Each structure stands twice: as structure tokens, then as C-alpha cells.
Chain A
Amino acid sequence: MSTSIPASGTIRRSPIGEVLARLRRNRLAVASLLVLALLHLAVALAPWLAPHDPEAVALAERLQPPSASHWLGTDEYGRDVLTRLLYGGRVSLAVGLTSMVVSMVLGVAVGAAAGYAGGVTDVLLMRITDGMLSVPLFFIALMALALLGASMLNLVAVIALSSWMTVARVVRAEVLRTRELEFVAAARALGCSGWRILARHVVPQSIPSITVAATLGVAYAILLETSLSFLGLGVQPPAASWGNMLSGARTYLRTVPGLAIFPGILIFITVLCYNWFGDGLRDAIDPTLAER
């Protein structure tokens, strides 16, 4: 990867600045980012935007079609669907983002430690990483949730624990590459401590690749929560998540299809936008792939 070497005579932009500039030219990625921003804002403001109490049950008003007071109708408990979509989005996105952050932290820590320390540590950590990559993790995660019960904490832990390995590998490779670069060697010569070099100079180099993995990670986590909801292992009712709303709505698929359509579309759009954005980001970081 030679993208950060400036051509002679041009002003050297920071690698991140260059990436952003390229990203801005990708309309799909920008649009995705906008949609995502809008979605996140909406669910963050749920308590102010939502017209009803998300858990207020009213048996007399169950399964109502859309109306002036319930824009998207009501569910099988007579709860407002729009309200629950907003609150459910908070939960879904929270699960996605939290598990992504945890898995990134884990991945970066393992990858950086392995790459920087080298030797036995490296071999050991990479053995573990490879080992986890070659185990049917989704399957074991499923077992774990079915056995231990699906609390939000378990859910995040299981998703994070099953998705940090790729990041660890990417970061390790990046660390191995940058370790030998001049400015790192210089920093070392100046007497900076190993961890400080790692944190200040080496890890930042891998931020672009980590970001790509992170965006795709969120999409993966949201989808995983949805799949697990199908088996009753997602976010537990009465709390709403898009996953459990979609999964619960399958009972009414042929009678009240609206119940399924809205969470379905939101999951689809969110996952799609995260994928598009992540993909755009990848192209922006590694233009050799995108540009002819």
C-alpha cells in the first residue's frame, strides 16, 4: 500500500484527510452516512419525538390500522408502533454500536499487543485468534445464549466475542508494517515507551481499516440480533428492538403485514447503509480497488 507517499510537488495531506476527500466524492457513501445520521438522531430523540409511552398496554386498541393518533397503527398489545420503532431503534443501534466498540477494543488490543510484542506473545495471541476463527462461533454463540439466557449484556458479549478476530489480524498486520517505519523508529530512538509509541503512532495508522471493520461490524451485529430474535434469543420483550419486533410480527405476517414491514424496512435500511458506507470507506482508503 503506497497511497500515503505523495507525488513530488504536491502538498502532502494527512492520510485521513485524503481518505475523507475521496469519501466525499462517493455519493452513495455520503447518502448512506446522511441516512444513518438521521436514523441515529431520531432514535436518540425518541423520548421527545415519540407520541406515546412505548410500554403502555391498551387491550381495547390492539392491532389498529394507522390513524391520526397512531400514525403506524398499534401492535398486539395496543402499543403505538411508531413509538416502539423509535425506542426499539435505540435498543437495536445500542446493541450494534456497543458490541462493535467492545469487539474493536478487544481486536485492537490483541492485534496491537501481538504485533508489537512479537515472539511468544505474538504466536500465542495469533493462535487464539486463528483458533476462534476456525470454530463455528455463531453456533457456539447461539448455544451460549440459549443456555445462559438472552440478557442485553449476554447479547453484546456474545456478538463482540465472536467478531473481534478480523480486527485483531488487520491491526497486527498494520503494526508489523508501521513498526519499521522511520518515524516510529525515531520515536523509539527518542526514548518513548513501547506502549506510548503503540498508542500514539502505531495504532492511529490502522484507524482507517478499523473504521471499515467497525461499520461492517455494526451492520453484522444488528442483523445478528435480528436472527437471534427469531429463535427468541434477541432482546427480550417487553423491551422493543427492531429484531424482536420483526420476529414477533411474523405471527401476523398474513393478517397485519404492516407490523412486519416497518421494522423490516428499518433493519434493512440501516444494515444496507452501514454496508454501503463501510464499502465506500474501504474504497476511499484503498483507492487501488476503486479507481482505474
Chain B
Amino acid sequence: MLEHVAKVAARAATVLGLALVLAATAGPVQQAAAQAAANTFSLPIIDNARMWPIVGGLPNILVNKVLYSTLVKYDAKNLAPVGDLAERWTLADDRLTWTFALRRNVTWHDGRPFTARDVKFTIERLWLNPQVAFFQRGNVAEISRVEVVDDYTVRIVTRTPFATLPVMLGYLANILPEHILGTYTPDQLRNPVDFLRNPIGTGPFRYAESVLGSHVRLVAYDRYFLGRPKLDAIVFRVVADLEQQLAQLQTGQLDLMIIEPPQVAVVQRMPHVQIIDAPQVNYTFVGFNNKVEPFTDRKVRQALTHAVDRKAILDKIYLGKGRIATGPINPLLDWAYTDKVHQFPYNPELAHKLLEEAGWSKGPDGIRRKAGQPLKITLDVDRGNPVREQTAVVVRQYWRDVGVDADVRISEFNALLARIRTRPNPLQAWTLWYITPPDPDVMGYYHSTGTLNEFGYANPELDHLLEQGRATFDVKARAKIYHQAQKFMAWDAPVIFLVYPAEIQALNRRVRGWAPIGYRDALTHMTGVSIGR
């Protein structure tokens, strides 16, 4: 018995020792990894991906970007909508009927041709089907019906004039194969397990393998409609831990990762990695619950904005990577953006004055009170993101400096979001971010009936402007409306617009042809990307 145990132990030790020797003799890891990864682009995802674009989640979204196509995608320079599966589109005089001409040389990864029937199927049976619960349904809910004109022409009709339709058709709106899914029941369509084991798309890369907890590998699709991609494969590695991602970036197992400002200094020391500050359509904010005291008072909202040194936050926490936000519309949308709006420079004196005017005056303990009630604010933030956590802690300090009894509560993202979405919203203030489609239409977030209006913000004047903007098709006229909306929102301060942060990409220098935009969008421009040396 004893000898047996000893033998087993000895054998285990030998195997491990052998492994160490092998490791030492097999040569540098980089070499082995590089060989295996020749002409392969690797990037991390934090969990297993589900290649079903009907449900959300970042891992799914990223993989689906290269596996599937959309009718419309965004230009790699100015993010304007350009054709993907659709070649061009026109709008009828009724301003409701859109006609999309589809590309003729598109095939699914199983070789079958892509046609207008796939579009009709995807929109009617998946996106608009209440039994399927498409996570981006809000973006396309204005569509009333889809007509197949011929194999390569499709007509989409909206309920009301909807100027942003092309943009929305490019936003997480992958087209799925009717010839496979057409016979599925609604129940199966919610989660087609068979299909997920071998998903079929029209994107530049087709599904090769998925090893749970390890990676998803997609390989170049030879008959991709824009020509075979230069890369042989894309590997999405499941790596949840940021330090592990960094180590893999350094040793060459990963070609790209998104870093946070604290990691910039580390990555700068990696000679084979470059840092790209990629602009993306987003903003960070401190949201107020506009339905409850004291945020019902514009003066309080303005004071709380003036109390925060956003310049310092941008410089120190974001390391200057981004610009101070002036409203919900990102400067990337240059035709619609304006910074000629009311500015809120750091000004604690003015904050003090505004709060006094609003009736909140300092008590002996330095805390402001109105009618005996102390000015007490809990600022919520999600756990884990250093920038947001630091922002929350710093904003709390700024508010304390002007006599607010402020506190920070850090909770898990799910719990926080679930609370924000409770009606009535039990929170006072929270700091989060929004990534939006590249369009100035912010109705969903700030219109009094908006489905994503978490701030409880309701203002008839802004409602009217946003409705007008959505129904106006002339670019100049639209821009004018949104300029007005931005001016109004800046002054009314429904939230503190903090920063338009750049996405900090750490990219291996061997990668060529990478589109320097947010990586969600860059992944739709992968055909020209290659691996050098």
C-alpha cells in the first residue's frame, strides 16, 4: 500500500518536473504562441459568448460583430451609416417607406444565398416578435412591416417618420438565416441550442470551434462578399481577470485589450504594444433622480454640477483621455454636436450661492438644511471599474466641500441597475455611462416617455424638440434642432455630464490596418486587418 502511494506521488512529481523541464527546453513561450497564432488576431472576452444576437452581453456582441452582418454599418472615419448587406436605400415621399437594395453576392456560411426573405424573417419573426424579446427592440419598434419586393429588394415601413432608421439598422441588428431558422417555433427561437452549436452568418469569419471557458475561434470565410479577409482566424479568449489579460498581452497571446487609465503606465513599457485612444459614441454622467427632492430644483442640479471639478476628474482619473462632456450628444457626431452651450466650470462659490438661493443653507455642523431636512445624498456606483469608482469617491468629496452630506454606495452592477429600473426609482444619484448609436436622437433617454429614461426627467419643451428631431430628415434642419436641444439640456442640467471618454486600446504593433475607432465598430472593419512580420 505504502509503496503504492509513494510510487504514485513519485510519478506525479516526475510529471510535474518533466513539465518544468519541457517548459524550459521547449523555448520561449512567445515563440510557441506566435507559431500557433500565425495570422490570427486574438482578443479577450470576459465570459463564454453566445452567438445569438437576439440577446445582449458584451462577449456575445463582440463575437457576433464578425460572425454576422447588418444591413447598415458605420463608416470607419466619421461613423456615418454606410451599406453592409444593403447597398443603398431610398425614402419615399410619405417619409415612412424605406426601400433597401441588397447586395447580390452575399452567401451564408453554409453556401446558401442571402436574400430579402432573410431580412423580412429577421425583422418580423425575431426583432418584433414579443415572444422572442429582442434586446434592442426599442431601437426598431417603429417598424410596422417589411415587404419583400424581390430577392434583392426589401421595403421597410415605419409607423411614424423615423429619421434614424438607417443608424438603428446598424446598431446590434444582425440579420439571421431564414433557411435554417424559418421552421423554428417561437420557443426554439428564443434560444436555438442546435443553431448555437454551429451558427451560420454572413460575416467575414465563420464559426470554427468554441471551447467553453477557453475560447471561440472563427476562421476566414473564403466567399465573404467584400473578399476573403487577410487574417486566417480571429480568436476570442475567455479571460475574466484584467491582470491575466495584461500578462497575455505582454507575452503575445492577446493582440488587443481595452485598458483602464491605471494600466496605461504598464502598457507603455511594453515595446511591442501601442496605445490608441479611440473615440467612441459615449459619455459618462452623474445621474439625478429628477422626480425627488432636492433634484426637482434646477438650481440644486446646477449647483451640484458647479461643485464638481470635471477638469480635474478628466486630467487625474481619466489621465486626460477624453474631453469634458457638455451634453448627451457626442462630438464624434460633428454635424449635430455643439459646445456653444451653458458651461459649468468648477466654482464652489457659485454652487454655494445657488444652493443658498434654493433655500439650502448651512447649519452649524456644515451640513445644509432646508425646512429642517438635511441635504443628504447617496451616490451609487457599480463595483469593479476603477474610473467610475474613483469618480464616485471624488464627487462625494466635492459635494461634501459645499455642505452636502454625501455618501457613496458601491454595489454590483446587476443589483444597481435593477434598483435604477425599479419604479419608482429608489435612488438619488448614481454615476454610470452610456454608449449610444451614432445618432443625436436621445429620445429613449430624455423624453418623458423614453423607455430608458432612468432619470425620471420630463420637460415638455425638450420632449417637443426631440420629437421634432426624430421626424426631420434634412440634415441641416436636424442639426439646428439638436443644437437647441443641447443648449436646453446643458442649462437645465438633468444630470451632470462628466466626460466623453476615449476607449484606451492596447494593440500589438504586429497588427496592421486596424480601424482606430471604438473596438465594437472596428470589429466590423476587419477584412483589411492583417498580422505583420
Contact = CB atoms under 8 A, between A and B. Distances in A.
Q: Are A and B close enough to touch in the complex, i.e. CB under 8 Å? A: yes
Interface of A: 56-57, 59-60, 62, 76-77, 146, 149, 232, 236-238, 250-255
Contact of B410 (A57, A77, A237, A252): A237
Contacts of B269: 254
Nearest to A79: B393
24 contacts: A56-B397, A57-B394, A57-B396, A59-B317, A60-B312, A60-B316, A62-B316, A76-B386, A77-B394, A149-B412, A149-B415, A232-B383, A236-B383, A237-B389, A237-B393, A237-B410, A238-B396, A250-B243, A251-B260, A251-B386, A254-B265, A254-B266, A254-B269, A255-B262
A59 B398 CA distance: 11
Given A59-B317, A77-B393, 17 more contacts: A57-B394, A57-B397, A60-B312, A76-B262, A146-B412, A149-B412, A149-B415, A236-B383, A236-B410, A238-B393, A238-B396, A238-B408, A238-B410, A254-B266, A255-B262, A255-B265, A255-B266
A149 B418 CA distance: 14
A238 B400 CA distance: 15
A278 to B, nearest CB: 28
Contacts of A236: 383, 410
Contacts of A77: 390, 393-394
A59 B269 CA distance: 24
Nearest to B412: A149
A237 B312 CA distance: 21
A25 B187 CA distance: 74
Given A232-B383, A253-B243, A254-B266, A59 B394 contact: yes
B384 interface: yes
Given A76-B386, A232-B384, A237-B389, A252 B262 contact: yes
B286 interface: no
Which 7 pairs between the two chains have the least Cβ-Cβ distance? Answer: A57-B397, A59-B316, A255-B265, A251-B262, A254-B266, A59-B312, A232-B383
Nearest to A251: B262
Chain B binding site: helix, strand, loop or mixed by DSSP?
helix
B313 interface: yes
Interface string B246-266: 000000000000001011011
A161 to B, nearest CB: 21
Contacts of A252: 262
Contacts of B411: 149
A255 B260 CA distance: 14
Nearest to B415: A149
A285 to B, nearest CB: 31
A68 B411 CA distance: 36
A76 B394 CA distance: 11
Nearest to A146: B412
A249 to B, nearest CB: 10
Contacts of A62: 316
Contacts of A253: 243
Interface in B360-402: 383-384, 386, 389-390, 393-394, 396-397
Interface string B402-442: 00000010111001000000000000000000000000000
A149 B242 CA distance: 22
Contacts of B410: 236-238
A250 to B, nearest CB: 6
Nearest to A238: B393
Contact of B390 (A60, A76, A146, A232): A76
Residue from the set B242, B316, B317, B394 with the largest chain A CB neighbour count within 10 Å: B316
Nearest to B384: A232
Interface string B431-469: 000000000000000000000000000000000000000
Contacts of A254: 265-266, 269
A58 to B, nearest CB: 8
B408 to A, nearest CB: 6
Contacts of B397: 56-57
B391 to A, nearest CB: 10
A220 to B, nearest CB: 24
A96 B386 CA distance: 27
Nearest to A256: B265
A146 B263 CA distance: 26
Nearest to B246: A254
A97 to B, nearest CB: 24
B286 to A, nearest CB: 16
A114 to B, nearest CB: 34
Contacts of A232: 383-384, 412
A57 B393 contact: yes
Contacts of B312: 59-60
Contacts of A57: 393-394, 396-397
A40 B77 CA distance: 60
A76 B386 CA distance: 10
A271 B396 CA distance: 34
A149 B309 CA distance: 31
Nearest to B407: A238
A3 to B, nearest CB: 31
Interface string B233-246: 00000000011000
Nearest to B392: A238
B303 to A, nearest CB: 20
Contacts of B383: 232, 236
B412 to A, nearest CB: 7
Nearest to B266: A254
Nearest to A230: B241
A71 B497 CA distance: 37
B313 A59 contact: yes
B516 to A, nearest CB: 25
A252 B262 CA distance: 7
Interface in B149-180: none
Contacts of A56: 397
A190 to B, nearest CB: 52
Contacts of B316: 59-60, 62
A238 B397 CA distance: 12
Contacts of A255: 262, 265-266
A151 to B, nearest CB: 10
A236 B390 CA distance: 13
Contacts of B393: 57, 77, 237-238
Nearest to A250: B243
A283 to B, nearest CB: 28
B263 to A, nearest CB: 7
A236 B411 CA distance: 9
Nearest to A56: B397
A232 B411 CA distance: 10
Contacts of A146: 412
